[in-house]
A and B are shown apart, each in its own frame.
Chain A
Amino acid sequence: MSNKIPRLLWLAALFVLAVVVVACAPAEPTKAPTVAKKIVIGFTASQTGKLNVESKKQIQGLELWKDHVVKAGGIKLKDGTVLTPEFKFYDDESSTDRVQALYTKLINDDKVDFLISPYSSGSAKAAAVVSEQYGKIMITAGAADDATMEQGFKNTYQTYTPASRYLTGAIDLLAKFDPAAKKIAIVHEKDSFSTSVAKAADPYAKSKGYNVVLLEGYDSGTTDFAPFINKIIAAAPDAIIGGGHFADGTTFAKQLYEKKVTAKVVALLVAPPEPKFTEIGDAAQNIVGPSQWEPLATFSEDAAKKAGFAWYGLSAADFTKDYKAKYNEEPSYHSAGGYVAALILQKAIEDAGSTKPDQVRAALDKMDLLTFYGRVKFSTEAKTHGKQVAHDMVYMQWQKDASGKLVKQMVWPLEAKTADWQPRK
């Protein structure tokens, strides 16, 4: 009897121990249940009108991002939710007229979760009046005007380097490669974006000791640049900088060539980085273009590590390869801008682990990362909230290769160059 009690005690103790061990054992990792949801991103696109070339590229970039996300199984959140992106977009006819009506429709009728801005600064400003009042997060792509982002917006975030920094690099390039140059002519489209660029380039050139011999604007839609070219010839500048958008910039470059204007540097906005620019043939040779991004850009995961930034997304080579495979043409910075606008949103949603605007906004405010497009960081100052503060321009030039074919080369900044800058003849 006396032996039985300790045995029972032992058995009881063993039972208790077993229960405790089981209870204390690390729980087997339980997989969060997968919940599939749609995420609708809305925007207007300039499918018709004067901005359709740039806007079309932007849409193609966005579509490629969607393909990549869908192929990867969606945007995966920590709680197991998988978001499949969908787009809802309308044609704004390259005009601000319908932008507010269409953004109101996107928000109220189509119930979009997030917004991408229309192409162009004017339209983005009009869209922001609507998106801000509904507290909808809008990533701007193709809207570089500084003033747009200096209104104390709370929900608008800028992808592009602001307009004030578009052409300053071209002036630095001139100073580096042609120290004897003294005269600069600035001829620009009289629209919001191009005038902002010119207004920033003028004092910058003067501060570097240049004589701005001509500062003139031309109307949007100008097709005959003869009056301006005659003035340029009379002023004999070393460099001509300015332009506006694709159609006018291309025509301007062509007419400069036809009139045999011999400025060593011609740097024009928007048009030169577009592959279609080479359709003007020899007139495109040695034209410089400021670009938000170029396929030759060398931003990489290693570079991010070295600089201490987080890296996100695919490489420039993969983006270019996939873009060419889908559209059978070279991507431009408008394509990359469209892609990266959505990529930024994706990263913010992943970081937030939610699509709730407050949490996504907080993630965007904290964001400081390197992508194939370059560095992305937004101002968190009240007045300039959402303005792009980290991304920098690169400068490309059309040069002829050994076979006489026009190829794009990066010429500025020096650390990103793929070829030496060549003067125009």
Chain B
Amino acid sequence: MNLWKQPFLWATLLVILVFALIPIVTGSAALREDWLLILLYLVLASSINIIMGYTGYVSFGHIVYFGIGGYVAFFLIQQAGMHLVFATLIGGLVAVLIAVLIGMPVLRLRGAYFALATIGINEAMRNFVANFEPFGGSVGMFFNYEVYTAYGGAKDALWLAYYGMVVVALAVVATSFFVKKSKFGLGLMAIREDQDVAQVLGIDPARHKVTAYAISAFFPALAGALFFFKNGVIEPGPAFLLHRSIEGLVMVMLGGYGTVLGPIVGAFVYERLRSFLITNPTFSSFHLFIAGLLLLLIVLFVTAGVVGWLRQKSPTLRRVLE
């Protein structure tokens, strides 16, 4: 694949980068916070899309890797005084290792059984961490405010977390694109359509699925590490919050599953909508109701998601939008 002849990829990365630069150029911390949440959800949704959209495995408990990455990195920064960058990468690698170990048996399950198993894994991990004293048990861990002085103070540390999230977001989009365009990605899509037929065609389903699962675990773990570093506190409940997983699935469905652009659009629309409803004086009291209603309508009437719908409507867009 010639990298330079991939206008969709470059255009997408450029648009994300331009938007991500707005808070940096304007120096607006409020915009930074808004964009950090959008990028966080982008990472989560794009990662879920790799296992769900390309491979056809609905991972309800995918947030487990967000929590693992967060906990490992937090522990390394707090206990070993490790720098954020290294701690984040180690958090990601530990998540990949756990994903491979869990994926090998669990990915043998199909459909609802796999979905249920992923919920179980998340709950089991949350309970394990809540009882694992080195990770602070049920109280979790928190940074002494002084931790941030190593990064030039809390203000600079929060900007550093943002830069990190921008890099991770760009990386996950690029990875999602390359997976989709690769032979490996075609194998995943063949498994999604019919695993038995794919196997007859010479695809090794187990190896493909575990690899896809490991890739999809890596990026949420990096995002978790950055997010909880910024938060200054990590607790089992918020780290392994099942409904954040479900929000990720909704974003994939909203944007269009199985596409590169879909999770990006889904994350942006969903997060902007939620943020608007929460901070709007008129809607703030029933923001969850409105968000739920809108999502219900979209899922009922735009089943392919926004990007899927656009691709269905126009052959030109089908060629352009990945």
**11 interchain pairs (CB within 8 A)?**
A90-B279, A91-B278, A101-B30, A109-B30, A122-B238, A125-B233, A129-B232, A192-B139, A192-B235, A219-B130, A220-B237
**A47-B285, A151-B144 are known contacts. Are A100 and B33 too (CB-CB below 8 A)?**
yes
**B36 interfacial by beta-carbon distance below 8 Å:** yes
**Chain A, range 62-97, C-beta contacts under 8 Å to B:** 90-91, 93, 95-97
- Does more than half of chain B's interface fall in helix, strand or loop, or is it mixed? helix
**A98 interfacial by beta-carbon distance below 8 Å:** yes
**Chain B, range 230-244, C-beta contacts under 8 Å to A:** 230-233, 235-238, 241, 244
Chain A residues positioned under 8 Å from B37 (CB to CB)? 98, 101
**A126 interfacial by beta-carbon distance below 8 Å:** yes
Asked if A195 and B139 sit within 8 Å, CB to CB, the answer is: yes
B205: min CB distance to chain A, Å: 36
Asked if A108 and B28 sit within 8 Å, CB to CB, the answer is: yes
Asked if A147 and B142 sit within 8 Å, CB to CB, the answer is: yes
Q: Tell me the nearest residue of chain A to B130, going by C-beta.
A: A190
B138: min CB distance to chain A, Å: 3
Chain A residues positioned under 8 Å from B284 (CB to CB)? 47, 90-91
**B158 interfacial by beta-carbon distance below 8 Å:** yes
**A157 interfacial by beta-carbon distance below 8 Å:** no
**B175 interfacial by beta-carbon distance below 8 Å:** no
Chain B residues positioned under 8 Å from A192 (CB to CB)? 138-140, 235
**A223 interfacial by beta-carbon distance below 8 Å:** no
Spell out A's residues near B (CB within 8 Å). Answer: 47-48, 90-91, 93, 95-98, 100-102, 104-105, 107-109, 122, 125-126, 128-130, 132-133, 147-148, 151-153, 190-192, 195-196, 217, 219-220
Asked if A101 and B238 sit within 8 Å, CB to CB, the answer is: no
Q: Which 4 A-B pairs have the closest CB atoms?
A: A190-B138, A101-B33, A133-B154, A108-B30
Please measure, in the bound complex, the distance between the C-alpha atom of A48 and the C-alpha atom of B287, giving whole angstroms: 10
B157: min CB distance to chain A, Å: 9
A239: min CB distance to chain B, Å: 22
- Interface flags for B268-280 (1: CB within 8 Å of A; 0: not) read 0000000100110
Asked if B30 and A104 sit within 8 Å, CB to CB, the answer is: yes
Spell out B's residues near A (CB within 8 Å). Answer: 28-30, 32-34, 36-37, 127, 130, 137-140, 142, 144-146, 148, 153-155, 158, 230-233, 235-238, 241, 244, 275, 278-279, 284-285, 287-288
Please measure, in the bound complex, the distance between the C-alpha atom of A40 and the C-alpha atom of B28, giving whole angstroms: 20
Asked if B28 and A152 sit within 8 Å, CB to CB, the answer is: no
Q: Tell me the nearest residue of chain B to A156, going by C-beta.
A: B145
Specify which of A90, A100, A128, A152 is in contact with B230 (CB 8 Å cutoff). A100
**A91-B287, A98-B37, A195-B139 are known contacts. Are A152 and B145 too (CB-CB below 8 A)?**
yes
Asked if A151 and B233 sit within 8 Å, CB to CB, the answer is: no
Given contacts A104-B32, A190-B137, A195-B139, 17 further A-B contacts (CB under 8 A): A47-B285, A90-B284, A95-B241, A96-B231, A97-B244, A98-B278, A101-B36, A104-B29, A105-B279, A109-B30, A129-B231, A130-B158, A132-B154, A152-B144, A192-B139, A195-B137, A220-B237
Chain A residues positioned under 8 Å from B34 (CB to CB)? 101
B277: min CB distance to chain A, Å: 9
Chain B residues positioned under 8 Å from A126 (CB to CB)? 231-233
Asked if B235 and A133 sit within 8 Å, CB to CB, the answer is: no
Chain B residues positioned under 8 Å from A148 (CB to CB)? 142
**A96-B231, A100-B230, A191-B237 are known contacts. Are A132 and B29 too (CB-CB below 8 A)?**
no
Chain B residues positioned under 8 Å from A125 (CB to CB)? 142, 232-233
**A90-B279, A90-B284, A196-B139 are known contacts. Are A108 and B146 too (CB-CB below 8 A)?**
no
Asked if A133 and B139 sit within 8 Å, CB to CB, the answer is: no
Specify which of B28, B233, B285 is in contact with A96 (CB 8 Å cutoff). B233
Chain B residues positioned under 8 Å from A98 (CB to CB)? 37, 278
Q: Tell me the nearest residue of chain A to B232, going by C-beta.
A: A129
B159: min CB distance to chain A, Å: 11
A304: min CB distance to chain B, Å: 34
Asked if A132 and B288 sit within 8 Å, CB to CB, the answer is: no
A19: min CB distance to chain B, Å: 61
Please measure, in the bound complex, the distance between the C-alpha atom of A102 and the C-alpha atom of B29, giving whole angstroms: 11
Chain A residues positioned under 8 Å from B139 (CB to CB)? 191-192, 195-196
Asked if A90 and B278 sit within 8 Å, CB to CB, the answer is: yes
Chain B residues positioned under 8 Å from A100 (CB to CB)? 33, 158, 230-231
B75: min CB distance to chain A, Å: 16
**A122-B233, A192-B140 are known contacts. Are A151 and B145 too (CB-CB below 8 A)?**
yes
Chain B residues positioned under 8 Å from A107 (CB to CB)? 29-30
Chain A residues positioned under 8 Å from B241 (CB to CB)? 95, 97
Q: Tell me the nearest residue of chain A to B238, going by C-beta.
A: A96
Specify which of A90, A147, A151 is in contact with B146 (CB 8 Å cutoff). A151
Q: Tell me the nearest residue of chain A to B146, going by C-beta.
A: A152
Please measure, in the bound complex, the distance between the C-alpha atom of A129 and the C-alpha atom of B146, giving whole angstroms: 10
